[in-house]
Amino acid sequence: SGKPVLHYFNVQGRMESIRWLLAAAGVEFEEKLIMCQEDLDKLKNDGLLMFQQVPMVEMDGMKMVQSRAILNYIATKYNLYGKDTKERLLIDMYTEGMTDLYELFFKVILAPPEEKDAAKSLIKDRAKNRFLPAFEKVLKSHGQGYLVGNKLSKADILLTELLYMVEEFDASLLANFTLLQALKTRVSNLPNVKKFLQPGSQRKPFPTQEMFEEMRKRFKF
């Protein structure tokens, strides 16, 4: 069919940003959902996973692994990666910062019960006092609708994905960030993204403790 094929679990995890970027680029993709250890073992035994890990994306005749490498390939191919090295640097700085906040959400889920509250307060603090202010300041500094080069890029798409995650976690965290709220609305209203945000799309549900426990039961890693 020529469409990219995404191999991953039926969760957001490390594949969700790739789903967002392909969707925002208007690229239709298929998914081979890994539902049990046998599915994963088959991929491994067939030698399709360079590091015995997923995400793996079959695209343009390649079996791509490493989520950030895949994101950067897609961003380059669909002109979502700035116009020069400086813009690409900014896009990478911002998306790496987003990853730092994004990963705190998984720390909450992985935290033992007695450390959950501390992990949740850390997210609130880092979101409100470190990461969201930084992105708000970028938008304020140039007054443009997108983070880099006055044009949609990987940074805006992944920030929008992150803002949905933050909102789901605690909507009050976005209260003081009016430019970020405007960016989230702007990107969400782009036709390709709007479609991806509709129920029934290939977007996966937000991670929950139950989903994590279910994964831990099904997979040995």
Q: Site residues for ligand GTS, window 39-68 (CB under 6 A)?
A: 52-55, 66-67
Q: Under the criterion CB under 6 A, does residue 204 sit at the interface with ligand GTS?
A: no
What mask of x and - would describe binding to ligand GTS in positions 158 to 177, judged by CB under 6 A?
A: --------------------
Q: Under the criterion CB under 6 A, does residue 14 sit at the interface with ligand GTS?
A: yes
Beta-bridge partner residues of 64: 57
Which H or E run includes 9? strand 5-9
Which H or E run includes 181? helix 178-188
Which H or E run includes 30? strand 30-34
Q: DSSP characters for 120-165?
A: HHHHHHHIIIIIHHHHHHHHHHH--SSSBTTB--HHHHHHHHHHHH
Closest distance between ligand GTS and the C-beta of residue 48, in Å?
A: 12
Q: Which is nearer to ligand GTS, 39 or 136 (CB)?
A: 39
Q: Which is nearer to ligand GTS, 5 or 173 (CB)?
A: 5
Q: Which is nearer to ligand GTS, 54 or 158 (CB)?
A: 54
Q: Are 184 and 101 in contact (CB under 8 A)?
A: no
Q: Under the criterion CB under 6 A, does residue 217 sit at the interface with ligand GTS?
A: no
Give the dihedral sign, CA 77/104/52/29.
negative
Q: Which is nearer to ligand GTS, 67 or 160 (CB)?
A: 67
Q: Under the criterion CB under 6 A, does residue 207 sit at the interface with ligand GTS?
A: no
Q: Under the criterion CB under 6 A, does residue 181 sit at the interface with ligand GTS?
A: no
Tell me the two tokens of residue 23. 């969707």
> Which residues here bind ligand GTS, judged by CB under 6 A?
13-14, 52-55, 66-67, 221
